Structure 1
Amino acid sequence: PAPPPAARPPGLAAAPPVAPPAAAPAPTPEEQRAITRAQVDEALRGSMPNSWRIPGTDTSVRLYGFVKANLFGDLDMVNRSDAPSVQGIPLSGSAATQQSGDTQFSARRSRIGFDTQTPTGWGPLNSRIEFDFAGDQPSASGAATSSGYMPRLRQAYVEVGGDVFRVLVGQANSVWNDGLVETLTDATFLNASAVRQAQVRATGRLAPGVTGMVSLEAPYTDYTSNAGVFYPDSSLDGGASPATGTFPDLVGKVSWRGETGDVSLRGLLRQLRIDTDGTAATPKGSSDGFGYGFALGGNLNMARLWTGFGADQLFAMAYYGEGIGRYFDSATSGQSAYSRIGLPGATDVSLTPVPTYGATIGYRHYWVPSVRTNMAYSYARLDNPAFVSEFSAGGAGAVAANREMQMGVVNLIWSPFATERDGRIGNGWLDVGVEYIYFRRDLEGGATAAPTGQGGYGIEQRVQASAIARF
């Protein structure tokens, strides 16, 4: 049995009962919605910045892109391309240069893409699919009726691994790409590269701040003959193209990045091949050539020399190669090699890779964190074989055979939402700017290679205004 309760000493009052703790007030409906929203946001938060997690999976998704509107006009000719290539601008005296100019307004260079990331036992599995609207414009009865440009695939790849080592498979920017110049024009700057193609790529960290990349990339022979410029997808007299390929291109890059700036050394090795069997070209047979090239470039953060320079940068690049071709697609696309096919007296198939070299130098100056100017100049030269002088004057081959090319640009860009942190400037989500662009090309053989009444050179000047809103 339980012991009896202890007797209370005389005169001692009974202890007051202890009240239970007061219950917390129930959240209001507004507070409950806020709590629920925070829980949902946390549950769906992705592993990448600005991403969300697909419910029931470990995959995070991020949407990105920008809307870009370009207003541009040529000062002394009509060139309807919104991304003119230096090597193909109209020659002096041509019909395009006899017109007083042209103005265009377009948003076709706007872009949209999706990134995903999924954890795996080999490290994060990342993927990207990216489009713009710079494809062909549909037409009715051969005449364009609106600015309804077709979407165009830019990138589609998966990459697995971490910072130490990772592997990429799919269509992506070439390892050779190394754009140093910030421009508003969508033309590929002379001596720059904007190649996107299928590849298998390995990336590894070689040392602190040092990264190495090597890739096998899609082969695509490009050459020029008396009949013009040819690629594997070209047509010769309604039939197949003589340009073919057997082995993928081998491309590599080593880059270093530090407080002073960054430096990269690139190299490539590629096979070039012509096979005229089964085509309209004569003589019959095949020929192989090899292309190679090297490029060295980088940025210097000027504040390392004197803090008064702020966030300014000096950048430069120089290269040499033979058979580089489309890897510098504003200067040598189509001119990886030349062939005697179609010339009188040609008895066998020939393929002569073209030596080419050039350099770019530029400067980026910040007037204030939200306003900057980019200035850049590029020069490129091709040492064409002597038999190019035998191409028919005014023909497709002769008009495509440039000897020298130049391009310059100066712009003023306002980024009202720019931020500065530790000497580095983030441009924010909006850019508005104006730009002047200068192009010049000189033909091999000068006026003697040009069509009747046209000069052996072309000069184009363009002014462009752009607005870019990123998301």
Structure 2
Amino acid sequence: MKLVKSLLLGTAAGLVAAAGAQAADLPSKKAAAVEYVRVCSTYGEGFFYLPGTETCLKIGGRVRADYLYGEPLDRANDSIGFRARGRIQLDARTATAYGLLRAVVRMEITRSSGTPFNGSNGTVGTSPDIAQAFIQFGGLTAGRVTTFFDNGDLPTEHFGTLRFSDAPDVDVLAYTFTFGNGFQATVSIEDGLERRSNGFLDTPGPQTLVYAGQRMPDVVGALKYTGTWGTAQLSGALHQVRAANVFVNGLGFANIPDTDYGFAIQGNVGVNLPMLGEGDAAWINVAYADGALSYITGGSTDSLSAGVLAGLLVDGYINPTTGNISTGKGWSVAGGLRHYWMPTVRQSVFGSYARFDYAANASQFGVLDFNELRVGTNLIWTPVTGLDIGAEVIYARLDPKGRVTVPTGQSLGSDNSWEGRLRLQRDF
């Protein structure tokens, strides 16, 4: 019996050894190498290399919550407004033999309610928006980006509205020449549809300028300097004013007004003030426009208002004497100062003054000369990096030329209003 058991154990051990030897001879599959995401420090913080490429990508975004109080005119008006805005941005950059190749997409979705934000009592609006989508290749910029008429490096920091162009996003095709030592010049063609002001659309009449189809884009030129002390820019724009009206004069003859061309010029300076405190800065902007008033207001509105008074913004109107286009003119001065009371607390004081003038006969159909003053201040606390909690108040005063009779029967020579805003903003 012992002999049989020994034979069985020996046979089993032999089979195990043989199987092990055969397994050792079989080919083995190695695990695939893991490709880790690499940090790209070439373009600043937050960029990383897309695996398998030399393209650096940064993913960013913003969440903003605004709460606004605006003085109501009557019982039907909302005085409280709510707004929530979300932003996602992708920034891809690749170094090439021809210079930097860059593509940016910024998507924003905004939900607003109340008259102060939404412009209509008792309504809620949601608006998805491609805020920016552009390609840069060397000096070329194509797509939707901040207008080159403006200087995006000005140290402005206000929540509400001031009367200067204030860096709106428009569709452009531009080329920037870099000269070194901080100087650059840009020539840009931009979408003129976003720079039209025609307050008559609310009250059409025979003098209404009905814009015809766009036949020429706006042409913008800018010369900019950026240095250690701050930044400065001088810019100009040409804007087509083309009417679709058929005007009938007193003799019964009809004609279409000749196309006119408006223009705008602007200069600004931003200065760093480290002698006051780290991060302190001041800025000033001066603008003049003739037949292109949106270059003063940023294209955000066709009228300015304070209290029950409103002033129309009109690029042009049909002159009842000549049947041709008479253009509206305007100028503005805006500026501000930013001061850090401590590394986490800063305050801005700012304001703007704007004046708009039309030909003498414009008053016959309700278009008046007027000026507007806006002043305000805010206080912002940054408890942690990327989070701002701020409060702002703005006072506005509108002064038309002469007295105006409003729907309530009052005759007013001026009016004013206040607005207050609370903002929480997280950037990442």
The reply to whether TM is greater than 0.5 is: yes
- 2: distance between equivalents of 1:219 and 1:150? 22
Deviation of 1:119 after TM superposition, in Å, equals 3.4
Write the distance in 2 (CA, Å) between the matches of 1:46 and 1:262. 26
Kindly provide the CA deviation profile for residues 252-291 of structure 1, in whole angstroms up to 9, marking residues without a partner as x.
221222222222111112221112269xxx9551322122
Q: What residue in structure 2 maps to residue 205 of structure 1?
A: 178
> Residue 146 of structure 1: CA displacement?
9.0
State whether structure 2 residue 428 is matched by structure 1 residue 461: no
Q: Quick one: which of 362, 372, 375 aligns to 1:405? A: 372
Describe how 1:92-103 pairs up with structure 2 within 5 A: 96-97=73-74, 102-103=79-80
Which structure exhibits the higher relative contact order, with contacts defined as CA atoms closer than 8 Å and separated by 6 or more residues? Answer: 1
The answer to whether structure 1 residue 287 and structure 2 residue 258 are counterparts is: yes
Q: Deviations for 1:433-465, whole angstroms, at most 9, x for unmatched residues? A: 1111112223344314x4452535442211111
The correspondence for 2:281, drawn from 275, 296, 313, is 313
The answer to whether 1:107 aligns with 2:75 is no
Normalised to the residue count of structure 2, the TM-score between the two structures is 0.76
Residue equivalent to 1:170: 143
From 89, 93, 97, the equivalent of 1:121 is 97
Could you tell me which of 44, 50, 54 is aligned with 2:50?
54
Does structure 1 residue 67 correspond to structure 2 residue 45?
no
What's the TM-score, normalizing by structure 1?
0.69
The match for 2:132 among 118, 138, 155 is 155
Structure 2 partner of 1:3? none
SS at structure 2 position matched to 1:41 = coil
Residue 219 of structure 2 is aligned to residue 250 of structure 1: yes
Structure-to-structure mapping, 1:25-424, within 5 angstroms: 40-42=36-38, 45=40, 48=43, 49-74=45-70, 76-77=71-72, 96-97=73-74, 102-108=79-85, 110-134=86-110, 149-161=126-138, 166-178=139-151, 180=154, 182-185=156-159, 187-220=160-193, 222-224=196-198, 228=202, 241-276=210-245, 284-303=255-274, 307-329=275-297, 334=302, 335=313, 337-340=315-318, 346=320, 349-392=323-366, 398=367, 401=368, 403-417=370-384
Distance 1:462 1:207 in 2: 44
CA contact (8 A) 2:333 2:354 kept: yes
Residues 306-352 of structure 1 show CA distances to partners (whole Å, capped at 9, x for unaligned) of: x35443222212222312321222689543523137xxxx3764212
User: Relative to 1, partners in 2 of residues 1:348 and 1:388: Cα closer, same or farther, differing over 3 Å?
Assistant: closer
Distance in structure 1 (CA, Å) of the matches to 2:192 and 2:136: 21
Tell me, in whole angstroms, the C-alpha distance in 2 between the residues paired with 1:168 and 1:362.
30
Q: 1:150 to 1:219 in 2, by over 3 A?
A: closer
Shift of 1:97: 4.6
- The alignment status of 1:442 with 2:415, answered yes or no, reads no
C-alpha separation in 1, matches of 2:314 and 2:225? 29
Superposed CA offset, 1:107-163 (max 9, x none): 13x3221111233332221111112223788xxxxx9999672311111111101xx
What number of residue pairs does the alignment pair up? 369
Q: CA deviation at 1:204?
A: 2.1
CA distance in 2, matches of 1:229, 1:176: 31
Aligned identity (percent) is: 24
Q: Kindly provide the amino acid, as one letter, of the partner of residue 127 in structure 1.
A: A
Q: Secondary structure at the match of 2:127?
A: coil
Q: Which amino acid aligns with 2:332?
A: G
Give the Cα separation in 1 of the matches to 2:322 and 2:84. Answer: 48
Question: Could you tell me how far 1:416 is from its partner in structure 2?
Answer: 2.3
SS state at 1:133 partner: strand
Matches of 1:380 and 1:229, distance apart in 2: 23
Give the direction of change, closer, same or farther, for the CA distance of 1:51–1:105 in structure 2 (3 Å limit). Answer: same
**For 1:125 and 1:369, how far apart are their aligned partners in 2?**
36
- CA 1:65–1:214 in 2, change beyond 3 Å: closer, same or farther? same
